[in-house]
Chains A and B, each alone.
Chain A
Amino acid sequence: DTGVSQNPRHKITKRGQNVTFRCDPISEHNRLYWYRQTLGQGPEFLTYFQNEAQLEKSRLLSDRFSAERPKGSFSTLEIQRTEQGDSAMYLCASRWDTGELFFGEGSRLTVL
Protein backbone atom coordinates (compact mmCIF):
# COMPACT_ATOMS: atom_id res chain seq x y z
CA ASP A 1 0.00 0.00 0.00
CA THR A 2 1.60 3.28 -1.08
CA GLY A 3 -0.99 5.62 0.40
CA VAL A 4 -0.60 8.02 3.32
CA SER A 5 -0.02 6.05 6.49
CA GLN A 6 -0.76 7.27 10.01
CA ASN A 7 -0.16 5.71 13.37
CA PRO A 8 -1.34 5.02 15.87
CA ARG A 9 -4.90 4.81 14.57
CA HIS A 10 -6.31 5.27 18.03
CA LYS A 11 -4.82 6.76 21.18
CA ILE A 12 -6.48 7.06 24.57
CA THR A 13 -4.63 9.14 27.09
CA LYS A 14 -5.16 10.90 30.37
CA ARG A 15 -5.32 14.64 30.58
CA GLY A 16 -1.86 16.14 31.03
CA GLN A 17 0.01 13.41 29.16
CA ASN A 18 1.97 13.97 25.98
CA VAL A 19 1.11 12.17 22.75
CA THR A 20 2.84 11.88 19.38
CA PHE A 21 1.36 10.95 16.03
CA ARG A 22 3.34 9.90 12.99
CA CYS A 23 2.51 10.39 9.32
CA ASP A 24 4.26 8.70 6.40
CA PRO A 25 3.20 10.51 3.22
CA ILE A 26 3.22 9.17 -0.31
CA SER A 27 6.94 8.93 -1.04
CA GLU A 28 7.30 11.40 -3.89
CA HIS A 29 5.06 14.06 -2.34
CA ASN A 30 6.81 17.26 -1.29
CA ARG A 31 3.90 18.86 0.60
CA LEU A 32 2.47 17.53 3.85
CA TYR A 33 -0.47 18.85 5.83
CA TRP A 34 -1.96 18.20 9.24
CA TYR A 35 -5.67 18.73 9.87
CA ARG A 36 -7.87 18.25 12.91
CA GLN A 37 -11.46 17.07 12.68
CA THR A 38 -13.95 17.10 15.54
CA LEU A 39 -17.40 15.55 15.55
CA GLY A 40 -19.81 17.33 13.25
CA GLN A 41 -17.11 19.42 11.61
CA GLY A 42 -15.08 19.29 8.46
CA PRO A 43 -11.29 19.03 8.72
CA GLU A 44 -9.55 22.20 10.00
CA PHE A 45 -6.07 23.10 8.81
CA LEU A 46 -3.31 22.95 11.44
CA THR A 47 0.02 23.19 9.65
CA TYR A 48 1.81 22.66 6.34
CA PHE A 49 5.30 21.54 5.29
CA GLN A 50 7.02 21.89 1.98
CA ASN A 51 9.81 19.35 2.14
CA GLU A 52 11.31 19.85 5.62
CA ALA A 53 10.25 23.49 6.01
CA GLN A 54 7.17 24.28 8.08
CA LEU A 55 5.67 27.11 6.06
CA GLU A 56 2.43 27.83 7.86
CA LYS A 57 0.76 27.23 11.21
CA SER A 58 -2.88 27.83 12.00
CA ARG A 59 -4.02 29.79 15.05
CA LEU A 60 -5.52 26.46 16.15
CA LEU A 61 -1.98 25.21 16.74
CA SER A 62 -1.34 26.36 20.29
CA ASP A 63 2.07 26.33 22.00
CA ARG A 64 1.32 22.81 23.22
CA PHE A 65 1.38 21.53 19.65
CA SER A 66 4.56 20.97 17.66
CA ALA A 67 5.08 19.37 14.29
CA GLU A 68 8.25 18.31 12.53
CA ARG A 69 9.27 16.84 9.23
CA PRO A 70 12.99 16.38 9.83
CA LYS A 71 14.14 14.93 6.53
CA GLY A 72 11.26 15.99 4.33
CA SER A 73 9.77 12.52 4.52
CA PHE A 74 7.70 11.41 7.52
CA SER A 75 6.21 13.92 9.94
CA THR A 76 5.32 13.88 13.62
CA LEU A 77 2.71 15.89 15.48
CA GLU A 78 3.22 16.12 19.23
CA ILE A 79 0.68 17.42 21.71
CA GLN A 80 2.02 18.25 25.16
CA ARG A 81 -0.08 18.41 28.34
CA THR A 82 -3.17 17.15 26.57
CA GLU A 83 -6.56 18.62 27.40
CA GLN A 84 -10.01 17.13 26.86
CA GLY A 85 -10.59 19.66 24.10
CA ASP A 86 -7.77 18.06 22.13
CA SER A 87 -9.92 14.97 21.56
CA ALA A 88 -10.34 14.74 17.81
CA MET A 89 -9.28 12.94 14.66
CA TYR A 90 -5.87 14.14 13.46
CA LEU A 91 -5.57 13.77 9.70
CA CYS A 92 -2.41 13.90 7.64
CA ALA A 93 -2.45 14.60 3.91
CA SER A 94 0.17 14.89 1.21
CA ARG A 95 0.46 16.07 -2.36
CA TRP A 96 2.99 16.88 -5.06
CA ASP A 97 2.90 20.69 -5.47
CA THR A 98 -0.73 21.65 -6.23
CA GLY A 99 -1.81 18.19 -7.31
CA GLU A 100 -4.49 16.08 -5.70
CA LEU A 101 -4.43 15.96 -1.94
CA PHE A 102 -4.39 12.44 -0.49
CA PHE A 103 -5.46 11.91 3.11
CA GLY A 104 -4.45 9.21 5.53
CA GLU A 105 -6.96 7.30 7.64
CA GLY A 106 -6.34 9.54 10.62
CA SER A 107 -5.30 9.12 14.24
CA ARG A 108 -8.16 9.38 16.71
CA LEU A 109 -7.22 10.90 20.06
CA THR A 110 -9.37 10.53 23.16
CA VAL A 111 -8.30 12.50 26.21
CA LEU A 112 -9.90 11.30 29.45
Chain B
Amino acid sequence: TQLLEQSPQFLSIQEGENLTVYCNSSSVFSSLQWYRQEPGEGPVLLVTVVTGGEVKKLKRLTFQFGDARKDSSLHITAAQPGDTGLYLCAFSPMNYGGSQGNLIFGKGTKLSVKP
Protein backbone atom coordinates (compact mmCIF):
# COMPACT_ATOMS: atom_id res chain seq x y z
CA THR B 1 0.00 0.00 0.00
CA GLN B 2 1.40 3.36 -1.07
CA LEU B 3 0.99 5.84 1.77
CA LEU B 4 1.42 8.79 -0.58
CA GLU B 5 -0.27 8.77 -3.99
CA GLN B 6 1.14 11.23 -6.48
CA SER B 7 -0.58 12.21 -9.70
CA PRO B 8 -0.14 12.41 -12.54
CA GLN B 9 2.74 9.96 -12.81
CA PHE B 10 4.02 11.64 -15.98
CA LEU B 11 3.41 15.10 -17.40
CA SER B 12 4.79 16.54 -20.62
CA ILE B 13 4.00 20.16 -21.41
CA GLN B 14 5.22 23.08 -23.50
CA GLU B 15 7.18 25.97 -22.07
CA GLY B 16 4.86 28.67 -20.75
CA GLU B 17 2.03 26.36 -19.72
CA ASN B 18 0.72 26.07 -16.17
CA LEU B 19 0.43 22.77 -14.33
CA THR B 20 -0.62 21.26 -11.02
CA VAL B 21 0.57 18.01 -9.47
CA TYR B 22 -0.99 16.31 -6.48
CA CYS B 23 0.02 14.34 -3.43
CA ASN B 24 -2.80 12.50 -1.67
CA SER B 25 -3.20 10.21 1.29
CA SER B 26 -5.88 8.82 3.56
CA SER B 27 -3.66 9.68 6.53
CA VAL B 28 -3.36 12.99 8.32
CA PHE B 29 0.14 14.43 8.42
CA SER B 30 1.71 16.95 10.74
CA SER B 31 3.77 18.15 7.78
CA LEU B 32 4.62 17.31 4.19
CA GLN B 33 7.70 18.06 2.17
CA TRP B 34 8.16 18.56 -1.56
CA TYR B 35 11.42 17.70 -3.30
CA ARG B 36 12.65 18.07 -6.88
CA GLN B 37 15.06 15.55 -8.31
CA GLU B 38 16.86 16.19 -11.58
CA PRO B 39 18.18 13.26 -13.64
CA GLY B 40 21.33 11.80 -12.13
CA GLU B 41 21.05 13.89 -8.97
CA GLY B 42 19.70 13.47 -5.47
CA PRO B 43 16.42 15.09 -4.37
CA VAL B 44 16.55 18.71 -3.22
CA LEU B 45 14.09 20.09 -0.69
CA LEU B 46 11.73 22.74 -2.09
CA VAL B 47 9.37 23.38 0.80
CA THR B 48 7.82 22.03 4.00
CA VAL B 49 4.13 22.68 4.64
CA VAL B 50 2.90 22.39 8.21
CA THR B 51 -0.45 24.11 8.77
CA GLY B 52 -3.73 22.94 7.21
CA GLY B 53 -4.70 25.32 4.41
CA GLU B 54 -1.21 26.76 4.25
CA VAL B 55 0.00 28.23 0.95
CA LYS B 56 3.68 28.79 0.28
CA LYS B 57 5.20 30.38 -2.79
CA LEU B 58 8.65 29.85 -4.21
CA LYS B 59 8.99 32.08 -7.29
CA ARG B 60 6.69 30.44 -9.88
CA LEU B 61 5.90 27.47 -7.63
CA THR B 62 2.90 27.53 -5.29
CA PHE B 63 2.47 24.82 -2.68
CA GLN B 64 -0.75 24.17 -0.79
CA PHE B 65 -1.46 21.91 2.16
CA GLY B 66 -5.05 20.68 2.36
CA ASP B 67 -7.28 21.90 5.16
CA ALA B 68 -7.47 18.37 6.57
CA ARG B 69 -3.70 17.89 6.16
CA LYS B 70 -4.23 14.76 4.05
CA ASP B 71 -3.19 16.18 0.69
CA SER B 72 -1.01 18.76 -0.97
CA SER B 73 -0.61 20.30 -4.38
CA LEU B 74 2.15 21.99 -6.32
CA HIS B 75 1.23 24.50 -9.01
CA ILE B 76 3.80 25.81 -11.46
CA THR B 77 3.06 28.95 -13.43
CA ALA B 78 4.60 29.52 -16.85
CA ALA B 79 6.71 26.37 -16.73
CA GLN B 80 10.26 26.53 -18.09
CA PRO B 81 12.57 23.75 -19.34
CA GLY B 82 14.57 24.18 -16.13
CA ASP B 83 11.54 22.94 -14.18
CA THR B 84 12.00 19.49 -15.74
CA GLY B 85 12.50 16.82 -13.12
CA LEU B 86 10.86 14.39 -10.72
CA TYR B 87 8.68 16.06 -8.10
CA LEU B 88 8.41 14.03 -4.91
CA CYS B 89 6.31 14.53 -1.82
CA ALA B 90 7.39 13.00 1.46
CA PHE B 91 6.50 12.80 5.13
CA SER B 92 8.32 11.79 8.27
CA PRO B 93 6.87 8.81 10.13
CA MET B 94 8.54 10.06 13.29
CA ASN B 95 5.28 11.45 14.57
CA TYR B 96 3.52 8.15 13.92
CA GLY B 97 5.70 5.91 16.03
CA GLY B 98 8.24 5.65 13.25
CA SER B 99 11.95 6.15 13.31
CA GLN B 100 13.93 9.27 14.01
CA GLY B 101 13.45 11.35 10.95
CA ASN B 102 13.59 9.03 7.99
CA LEU B 103 11.27 10.02 5.17
CA ILE B 104 8.58 8.11 3.29
CA PHE B 105 8.38 9.25 -0.33
CA GLY B 106 5.70 9.01 -2.96
CA LYS B 107 6.59 7.69 -6.41
CA GLY B 108 6.76 11.18 -7.80
CA THR B 109 5.52 13.06 -10.84
CA LYS B 110 7.96 13.11 -13.72
CA LEU B 111 7.65 16.50 -15.43
CA SER B 112 9.06 17.31 -18.84
CA VAL B 113 8.88 20.89 -20.09
CA LYS B 114 9.66 21.23 -23.78
CA PRO B 115 11.01 24.49 -25.20
Question: Size class of A's contact patch?
Answer: 20 to 34
B102 contacts which chain A residues (CB < 8 A)? 33, 45, 48, 56
A78 to chain B, nearest CB (A): 20
Per the CB 8 Å criterion, the residue count for chain B at the interface is 19
- Asked whether, in the complex, the Cβ of A103 is within 8 Å of the Cβ of B44, the reply is yes
Q: Once the chains are docked, how many angstroms separate the CA of A20 from the CA of B51?
A: 42
Q: Once the chains are docked, how many angstroms separate the CA of A100 from the CA of B45?
A: 8
Where chain B touches its partner, the secondary structure class is loop
A69 CB–B CB distance under 8 Å: no
- Asked whether, in the complex, the Cβ of A98 is within 8 Å of the Cβ of B105, the reply is no
B108 contacts which chain A residues (CB < 8 A)? 41-42
Question: Which residue of B41, B43, B99, B101 is within 8 Å of A43 (Cβ)?
Answer: B43
Interface residue ranges, A against B (CB under 8 Å): 4, 31, 33, 40-45, 48, 50, 55-56, 91, 93, 95, 97-98, 100-101, 103-106
